[in-house]
Structure 1
């Protein structure tokens, strides 16, 4: 749900963090037939070759020449779908045109365009090989085999021309390499942004699940105990049963309020929360709820209390809440002690009960201790939980408090 909301709030070409999202080359749009650019290349070749042919002692442009000049750019229509095959075919058609002795001109342009797309498409080795073979073949035709090829009486091409062509092709391929590297960098950045978005969504889902577990586990445990009391005393002591039902009503109302507060976080970011998150200042309310379930809770404080960061305050409250819920569910003790220790840069929590384990059927997923450890670990703290030598049970939490967050 979180990922869907993020995507709906982003533009069609934006990532969840607001950064522009480059359109990948392999998308549906990138695979459309590039007829406009191909038509432009064809016009350049036809017009440019007609003008370049003037003054050259080469074979006259005939029907075959015009067909080859049209075929080379026509093959560029498939350069996005089959880049390597397109480059090989264009190179072959261009070599055939040159072997036939037709005039020079912008006939190398389709080879350059096809090579560029092959490199950008990730086929760099094949592109370099095809272009290298093409250049070697052209050198052979232009400097050694020209006497056996039309037109009659042709002379070898100057080596300066070959060096210029080689320099231009190398520059184009180098530019294609730069584009390819940039494209891979964009892809890596997109993948990292998508991974961060998924990680944030997973963390948010985990936070909501943990909050709902803590809220519902505590309230439903109180409701379960009071429902049992009400059923047992419904006939013998209706007034006490009425008190139990009143407690159930109050506990369910409290649970609904906290669940609504947790679900408020699913609204659009920036909206103010409808109620402040619970903190240690609500421990007296927590003790009253536990008392309604038959558990007497005493709260003691060591050190001088100071305001806590919201995240630490909420985590401390939930840890105490889950520990007391476990006492109600699983302990035969009707007494619990909560001790809060304020120290330099740290907050210590200790929740004790006298035991023994009660084997209650109050239900639960068994994730209470795991949830407490996750909360503490998220803040860089630790949780220790285990039986005491005298038969009771103790939960000890140590949470760091950043000095810059304390007044």
Structure 2
């Protein structure tokens, strides 16, 4: 289909240029004859070939431009009627530059200008120095416009690619933070129940009901989060998701899930209560607390965790500190993991920052985030809020 569109537009371009050239050349034929009819016929053959070649400028711009320069040069040298065939080389050079072949377009323009200058120096009175200067201006403008179009289209393609990549990262982060949290709780609860059953089948069977209840709640919430995320990916003509955007008002649900996983969770909230938080800040804060508690459940080996939320006049400060074995390092290096990088990206997207590392007293692990409340906060590193 795209190829058909290019061919169709090329034929239309060639036809338009031919009508323009023919309209400017035919009146000269009605005047007093200035050349033999055989030369006139040869000139019209050159006009048809030159304009017809433009139909293929979209697929073979360099070859077409070279052919058009040669045929138009022969026409102006052999014909006594100086019609507007100069439009054809201008269009061909524009097509070369618009394809991003700037060096080729400049080289062909230089050849055309040098050839015309050589004819002027040889005594061609039809082209004087003023006309030569104007031709140079036309060639420079044509190549510049073609290159500008190429740059604009390249920028648009890059922006579209970047937007697609950002959207994929946003979806991956949402799936990781929401569904991954609940799946982690399911894994922790089922693994704990299995260990208790293997050690003491009788007592383990009695505790299975509580573990299965926690697994049921976590799986139900995971399905709800999945439906909400998939709903956001629907086409615009479908119904928008009606589930509320998660925020800190639902932090009790996260605490309850973590407690079912065996953690002693304490939540402390301080600061101003001047109205609701901005939606993007509220959602990012919820996801950060969610991911931090998920990491504690899965990796920290902790028994207790403290969640502190402090709202100031200009920023929201979050802290999630546990008493586990500390940072999990990969190969002896810095703390790693997609969960921490995802939390850090959320904070940066709002113009804030997030740090993760050992607790103040050398034990446990601490996640600290600062999220500006101002809507004018500038995202860092080109990140976009999600």
Query: What's the TM-score, normalizing by structure 1?
Result: 0.73
1:236 counterpart = 2:202: yes
The offset of 1:138, in angstroms, is: 6.3
The answer to whether the Cα contact below 8 Å between 1:301 and 1:340 also exists between their aligned partners in 2 is yes
2:353 paired residue number:
382
SS of alignment partner, residue 363 of structure 2: coil
1:332 paired residue number:
301
1:185 paired residue number:
148
Distance (whole Å) between structure 2 residues aligned to residue 323 and residue 42 of structure 1 = 72
1:68 paired residue number:
42
Distance (whole Å) between structure 2 residues aligned to residue 133 and residue 75 of structure 1 = 20
In the TM superposition, 1:190-201 aligns within 5 A as 190-201=153-164
The offset of 1:177, in angstroms, is: 4.5
2:101 paired residue number:
none
SS of alignment partner, residue 266 of structure 1: coil
**Which structure's CA Rg is the greater one?**
1
Instruction: Name the CA shift for 1:173/1:41 in 2 (closer, same or farther; >3 Å).
Output: farther
1:402 paired residue number:
374
Aligned match for 1:249, one of 201, 213, 216: 216
Name whichever of 230-239 and 244-253 sits farther off. Answer: 230-239
In the TM superposition, 1:135-214 aligns within 5 A as 136-137=118-119, 140=122, 174-175=137-138, 177-214=140-177
The answer to whether the Cα contact below 8 Å between 2:25 and 2:83 also exists between their aligned partners in 1 is no
- 1:28-47 superposed Cα distances (whole Å, 9 cap, x missing partner): 44544866346536755774
Aligned match for 2:19, one of 31, 37, 40: 40
Instruction: Name the CA shift for 1:74/1:173 in 2 (closer, same or farther; >3 Å).
Output: farther
2:284 paired residue number:
315
The answer to whether the Cα contact below 8 Å between 2:358 and 2:364 also exists between their aligned partners in 1 is yes
1:367 counterpart = 2:324: no
**Unaligned runs of at least 5 residues, structure 2:** 98-104, 329-335, 378-386
The answer to whether the Cα contact below 8 Å between 1:293 and 1:328 also exists between their aligned partners in 2 is yes
1:86 counterpart = 2:68: yes
Q: How many residues align?
A: 346
The offset of 1:269, in angstroms, is: 4.8
- 1:335-368 superposed Cα distances (whole Å, 9 cap, x missing partner): 1111111112011111111223599xxxxx9322
Aligned match for 1:303, one of 271, 278, 287: 271
Instruction: Name the CA shift for 1:95/1:346 in 2 (closer, same or farther; >3 Å).
Output: same
1:117 counterpart = 2:91: yes
The offset of 1:223, in angstroms, is: 1.0
The offset of 1:322, in angstroms, is: 1.3
Query: What's the TM-score, normalizing by structure 2?
Result: 0.77
